[in-house]
Amino acid sequence: MDQQITRHMTIEDIFTQFPQKGQKLAQEMTNFGLHCIGCSASTEETLEQGMYSHGMTDEMIEALLKKLNSVLAEEADLSTIILTPKAAKKFKQILDDEEKTGWALRFGEKSAGCRGLEYFLDFSNKVEADDVVFESEGIQIHVNKKSLDRLLGSVIDYIDGLKGAGFKISNPNVKSSCGCGNSHNY
């Protein structure tokens, strides 16, 4: 596999060139202990410089590059919306806690951030007339037809780490993300 992401790219360049994988790339960098994704240095420092400044070794840089490039190589299934097993487990736990066992997940978008869109996840106890229904990991996912083309191929995951926990969406259709990290565009 050719390396599309190299140690000599700035962190900003990585996200600019691969916005459709931005969320997954950011998560992998964070998993490796590189937390300068939103830092002003990300526009000037290369990935290598950023990792060295955090005390990381060449072996760690190579391991991260391998992981980042494997993320780029992943093929999206543009015919569906997927919940990871971890996301499904967490959603079922929330349903139980809220006494809504058996309800579906509503997945959509709303205006937000810097003139872009942000995702929302909610409970859904019935299919609306303008919904398309998917099933993943034993959970129904209700999506309004108006946003379907933009959301197909999305993978909903649950991340639990030192910097916070929550559902994370990777959407191969996203063309740009806002610097604030709260919105995206197509």
pLDDT in tens, 62-113: 999 999 999 888 887 889 999 999 999 999 999 999 999 999 999 999 887 6
The domain segmentation of the chain, as residue ranges, is: 11-73, 82-185
Q: According to CATH, what is the number of the domain 11-73?
A: 1.10.3910
Orientation angle between helical segments 58-73 and 22-31, nearest 10 degrees: 150
DSSP-based three-state secondary structure for 141: strand
Q: Does domain 82-185 have CATH number 2.60.300.12?
A: yes
Overall pTM surpassing 0.75 (yes/no): no
Q: Tell me, what's the pLDDT at 36?
A: 64
CA distances from 94 to 120, 131, 173 (A): 15, 23, 28
